[in-house]
Structure 1
Amino acid sequence: MIHNYKSKWGLAFGGLLSLTFTAKAQVTLTGQIRTRTELRQGYATLLPKGASVAAFTSQRSGISLGYRSERIRVGVTLRDVRVWGQDASSISPADGNRLFLHEAWGEFVLSDSTWKDKLISQLSLKVGRQELVYDDVRLLGNLDWLQQGRRFDAAVLKAGKGPWQFDLGIAFNQNSDAAGVKGTFYTPGNVPAYVASTTGSVLPVPAGFVPTSGKGGAPQLVSAVSTNGQTQQFKSLQYLYAARRWKTVTASGLLFKDDFQKYRIDSIGSQAVGWAYGRRYDVKGVNSRFTYGAMVTGSDKRWQWQAFAYGQSGHTATGQSLSASYWGVNASIRQGKWWIGPGFERLSGNNTVDPDGKDHRFDPLYGTPHKHWGYMDYFYVATGAPAGGLNDAFLKARYLINKRFTATLDIHHFSLASPVRNMLDGSRLAGQLGQEIDLVVTGTVTKYATLEAGYSWLRGTDSLEYVKLGTAGQASHQAQWAYLMLNLRPEFLH
């Protein structure tokens, strides 16, 4: 009887505590298992003639903890990314690990109910490792297609009033906080541990040194890293984002500056083992790049449209004077279960036939290229993009199969935005690069599971082979790629 009495009080107290906690705070715990099986035959770049198809399965495993109360918000995401079979069945310490902290941020709400009649009604500060996702992830995005994704160590001040949104972000990178570190010199990440010398010897890469490729023992002034698709190599960044929403139209503007550590050309090695050339990041100062522009989008039950224009100035990461542009328009109309419409985008490039000493290649910052310039990732990702820039004329269609499944079909025609000289024979390259067709079917299997299957086919030209590989007549101009992706997202606590 006494035991039953205590149990009832315990249940009542637990229920009261639960109600109190629920009223003041929300806690979520979600997981993710995402596997993607791919067949690649020319994915991202053309293959030599007769090359075999590559097949593999990659997996992202993650768990996310979220906390939200009246004044505090916290998010932590832990991820593990690997390819099936990449590790031995019994892992040794030499195998390394791919477990990393994708997000770990806290957001403190500075405004309260008394701010409703003031100029700013919502104000918060978000600090820590976080994703930066704006507009259609064209210039700033989480690169979620990649299993490892993208995140930044940054602080973002967020302000809002009604339909207005303002974000002010800053980030500052450093390699180490170890004792004895002098200055704030910053070496880009993802530097290889070893490099081959001019004689083929393998040399360890010292701290602060980034190796570059070269011919005949001479250093090549081409960075071993890039801003999009390979590594986060800026020294610091600052940006201001503003957006205004109307009933069917949204307009946004971006002012963005990223700074890159200056460097000097250096070499490592000796006469006995040969030399490896590269960059030594121990020079004071930074090269600053400025990106600015605006985007307008509209949508209703029948139409969707978008127009945008951005410019870049300042200096590249290598210190070259920069003057570049990027603009585009697209629209689609609804017909029954179909959405279909054309679009065109132009990313400026260098005229290598008649150069003027400036760099005119637009760099799409830290966005998600996979979403915009063909799913086979030939442009503006890890394998690089043409010096002559890119014109992309496309037609996109989306079909609602039923309430659970949707099919999309994208057709791209790629060409150079500026003339490019063929250094093999001195001629001017033909402007056409090729065509790509992307077919994707996506569906919801259950509340916590989605399935996605895709197939892409590309037909390239001689010009595409040259701008991607620097060769002529040595690569197959037909490429294809297919994948099947299962995405499980259970909710353990909500």
Structure 2
Amino acid sequence: MKKRVIVFSGLLLLGSVWMKADENETSKDKENTFSMSAQIRPRAEYRNGVLNPRSEGQGPAGFINNRARLSMNYERQNLSLGLSAQHVGVWGQDPQIDKNGRFILNEAWAQLDFGYGLFAKLGRQSLIYDDERVLGGLDWNIAGRYHDALKLGYENKKNKLHLILAFNQNDETKIDGTFYADGAQPYKNTQTLWYQHVASKEFKASFLFMNLGLEAGEQKEQKSDTKFMQTMGANLYYQPGDWTFGGTFYYQSGKNKNKRDVSAFLWALNAAYKFNSQWSMGIGSDYLSGAGTADGPDAKYKAFDPLYGTHHKFYGAMDYYYATPFKDNLNPGLWDNQIKVAYNASSKVNLALTYHYFSITSDLTVNGKDLDRGLGSELDLQVDWQIMKDVKLSAGYSTMFGTSTMEAVKGGSKDSWQDWGWLSININPRIFTAKW
């Protein structure tokens, strides 16, 4: 019995020494952290000419949509995981007894950190770069935007370099599996390289090159014919004191999915000044080249495609441009000149009023008549109120004053009053955090 006690005591001592050594070893590592957050974001909308102009006699529409999202994140030394599931829809569209839920994963990724600033992130993820003009998260949209991709990167205090690779298929094909049908991700594959250099607190610059593989094959024959379009450009940011300056330029080449040679460009310039803690003002100009009616099918396609950006952020809150297509396969380009005034009524209440004047950037002839380039004006008003921590109430109202050219390229009637109003509450708390 005494021998058993001695042996047992020795095992306990060895175990305690091993556990202590293991503690000392793991204490050098980053703690295991698990967090969970939730989002409930209903938005009521009054639509009387949003997305596309309404015609004479068409009445307004109204609804409430909702995003319900549950996100989970796990972190430890050299490893991070992100999972986010959401249900989106309109109030009342599902029956009270619903057997067919639409809960989907909008994020499902893992990131491996290899040290020295190197990492790999793979899976379903948002791709948000620069000001979101070409690659954005589209958070305004009820569903958001995600990509299935592999991101390889290197980062330090001054430099960031990301390589994004994706290869998409509609299903687990057996043979002839390189055809990629419409209805899923809008591209078949991509190779994207992004680099950002932070020169100082005031100045930074970034550069992007994206090669997109687009399926141009025949749907009936399931015959693959991938065409590649390249988008390349730079973003410059300069913030001296109370001023903010930005400049963007992109150029597109290669072939689009209609097998046409592409030569198109985008430039944007903006400046803002903060007068004091309450008032600020900004001006900007965005120019996207377009395709005119004089450009025949054999000519180079000159209409710039802003791809997977957050268009709602740039080209007017009513989303007439690029969030929705032009009519009759037209793509006449866009020149958007805007001025914005913002007022912080308090630390919790912000107001912003933006005026846009829109024009097309190419010559169009419709029904034998040369169109004037002016599209019209839009006014956007938005109010944000931080009610409490993790709860924000937002409201907006917009109206558009269109021209005859607007009728020709977007439809509707220029004589009909076009407006849109919305009210949204965003409840987004972190509900759980654990460390061990």
Q: TM-score, normalised by structure 2?
A: 0.89
Distance 1:239 1:282 in 2: 27
Q: Secondary structure at the match of 2:139?
A: coil
Quote the residue 1:187 is aligned against: 181
* Matched letter for residue 137 of structure 2: N
Distance 2:33 2:326 in 1: 44
1:352 deviates by: 1.1
Q: 5 Å matches for 1:167-186?
A: 167-178=162-173, 180-186=174-180
Q: For 1:84, which of 75, 81, 91 is the aligned residue?
A: 91
Q: For 2:42, which of 24, 35, 39 is the aligned residue?
A: 35
Q: Are residues 1:487 and 2:426 paired?
A: yes
Moved over 4 A (4+): 19-23, 474-477
Q: For 1:106, which of 103, 110, 124 is the aligned residue?
A: 110
Distance 2:80 2:258 in 1: 39
Q: Secondary structure at the match of 2:370?
A: coil
Quote the residue 1:8 is aligned against: none
1:76 deviates by: 0.3
Q: Secondary structure at the match of 2:165?
A: strand
Contact 1:133 1:142 in 2 (8 A): yes
Q: 5 Å matches for 1:56-455?
A: 56-91=63-98, 93=99, 96-111=100-115, 121-178=116-173, 180-189=174-183, 232-245=185-198, 246-264=200-218, 279-280=219-220, 282-336=222-276, 337-353=278-294, 355=296, 357-384=299-326, 387-422=331-366, 425-455=367-397
Contact 1:187 1:281 in 2 (8 A): no
* Matched letter for residue 329 of structure 1: L
Q: 5 Å matches for 1:41-56?
A: 41-56=48-63
Q: Which digits, 9 at most, give the CA deviation of each residue in 1:5-34, with x for residues without a partner?
A: xxxxxxxx9xxx9x9799622211000000
Distance 1:319 1:354 in 2: 15
Quote the residue 1:459 is aligned against: 401
Contact 1:131 1:142 in 2 (8 A): yes
Contact 2:37 2:431 in 1 (8 A): yes
Distance 2:130 2:178 in 1: 33
Contact 1:168 1:238 in 2 (8 A): yes
User: Percent identity at matched positions?
Assistant: 33
Contact 1:47 1:476 in 2 (8 A): no
Distance 1:23 1:184 in 2: 43
Q: 1:438 to 1:21 in 2, by over 3 A?
A: farther
1:157 deviates by: 0.4
Q: 1:388 to 1:281 in 2, by over 3 A?
A: farther
Q: Secondary structure at the match of 1:465?
A: helix
* Matched letter for residue 435 of structure 1: S
Q: Secondary structure at the match of 1:78?
A: strand
1:142 deviates by: 1.0
Q: Secondary structure at the match of 1:97?
A: coil
Distance 2:96 2:63 in 1: 17
Distance 1:252 1:281 in 2: 42
Q: 1:139 to 1:168 in 2, by over 3 A?
A: same
Contact 1:131 1:151 in 2 (8 A): yes
Distance 2:45 2:28 in 1: 45
Q: Which moved more, 1:378-387 or 1:454-463?
A: 378-387
Tell me, which stretches of 5 or more residues in structure 2 are unaligned?
Answer: 1-18
Q: Which digits, 9 at most, give the CA deviation of each residue in 1:210-236, with x for residues without a partner?
A: xxxxxxxxxxxxxxxxxxxxxx32110
Q: Which digits, 9 at most, give the CA deviation of each residue in 1:51-92, with x for residues without a partner?
A: 11111000000110001112100000000001001112222x
Q: 5 Å matches for 1:9-20?
A: none
Contact 2:404 2:414 in 1 (8 A): no
Aligned residues: 405
Q: 1:408 to 1:233 in 2, by over 3 A?
A: same
Q: Secondary structure at the match of 1:320?
A: coil
* Matched letter for residue 246 of structure 2: Q
1:146 deviates by: 0.5
Q: Which digits, 9 at most, give the CA deviation of each residue in 1:306-339, with x for residues without a partner?
A: 0111000001111111000000101011112211
Contact 1:334 1:340 in 2 (8 A): yes
Contact 1:243 1:253 in 2 (8 A): yes
Q: Secondary structure at the match of 1:260?
A: strand
Distance 1:395 1:475 in 2: 23
Contact 2:152 2:164 in 1 (8 A): yes
Distance 1:109 1:98 in 2: 33
* Matched letter for residue 275 of structure 2: Q
1:363 deviates by: 0.3
Q: Secondary structure at the match of 1:280?
A: coil
Distance 2:337 2:205 in 1: 24
Distance 1:453 1:28 in 2: 30
Q: Which digits, 9 at most, give the CA deviation of each residue in 1:267-309, with x for residues without a partner?
A: xxxxxxxxxxxx4362233010100000101224410110111
Quote the residue 1:201 is aligned against: none
* Matched letter for residue 189 of structure 1: G
1:148 deviates by: 0.5
* Matched letter for residue 365 of structure 1: L
Distance 2:221 2:209 in 1: 27
Contact 1:263 1:280 in 2 (8 A): no
Distance 2:64 2:28 in 1: 42
1:456 deviates by: 0.4
Contact 1:45 1:383 in 2 (8 A): no
CA RMSD of aligned residues (A): 2.0
